[in-house]
């Protein structure tokens, strides 16, 4: 199958597929006599796996590791478990940071009863250093 068909099947753009090949996340495709890339079923499966990992915001280097550990079906899952735990911790930190950001923005949005920019409490609060307030 050609790259455009692979892109449609896996919902990954042609440009991204080429990039994944360039960084060895996806093995180089076989080439037809006319130079077109030719992909197989294994490429579809790997690309779907990569796409799912990216949807979970797993870094490309960690995806490479996840792909590599799959080559030995009898090996321990410890490395996989560890990578997923690390990603979960990153997500939890991000959620906490976003929650704090939401609280700050909410406080700002409700801090100004004035209707004149020169008296705008939001702008005054943004000029203050929050570490000294």
Q: Is residue 92 part of a domain?
A: no
Mean pLDDT computed over every residue of the chain: 93
How far is residue 58's CA from residue 43's CA, in Å, rounded to a whole number? 19
pLDDT in tens, 62-110: 999 999 999 888 888 999 999 999 999 999 999 999 999 999 999 999 9
pLDDT at site 131: 64
Name the residue with tokens 């597929």: 17
Q: Is residue 129 part of a domain?
A: no
Give the number of other Cβ atoms within 10 Å of residue 130's Cβ.
8
pLDDT at 132 over 70: no
75 exposure class (CB count in 10 Å sphere: 0-12, 13-18, 19+): exposed
What CATH number does residue 24 fall under? 1.10.1660.10
Give pTM, 2 decimals: 0.80
pLDDT band with cut points at 50, 70 and 90 for residue 119:
confident
Q: Is residue 25 part of a domain?
A: yes
Enclosing domain of residue 16: 3-75
Residue ranges in 11-120 assigned as alpha helix (H)? 14-22, 41-55, 60-69, 78-109
């Amino acid at each position: 199958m050609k790259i455009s068909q692979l892109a449609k099947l896996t919902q990954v753009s042609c440009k991204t597929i080429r990039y994944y090949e360039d960084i060895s996340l996806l093995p180089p495709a076989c080439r037809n006599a006319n130079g077109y890339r030719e992909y197989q079923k294994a490429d579809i499966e790997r690309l779907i796996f990569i796409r799912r990992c990216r949807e979970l915001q797993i870094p490309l280097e960690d995806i490479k590791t996840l792909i590599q550990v799959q080559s030995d079906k009898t090996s321990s899952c410890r490395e996989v478990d560890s990578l997923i735990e690390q990603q979960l911790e990153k997500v939890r930190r991000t959620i906490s940071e976003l929650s704090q950001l939401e609280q700050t923005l909410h406080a700002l949005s409700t801090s100004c009863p004035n209707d004149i920019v020169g008296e705008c409490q939001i702008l005054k609060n943004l000029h203050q250093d929050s570490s000294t307030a």
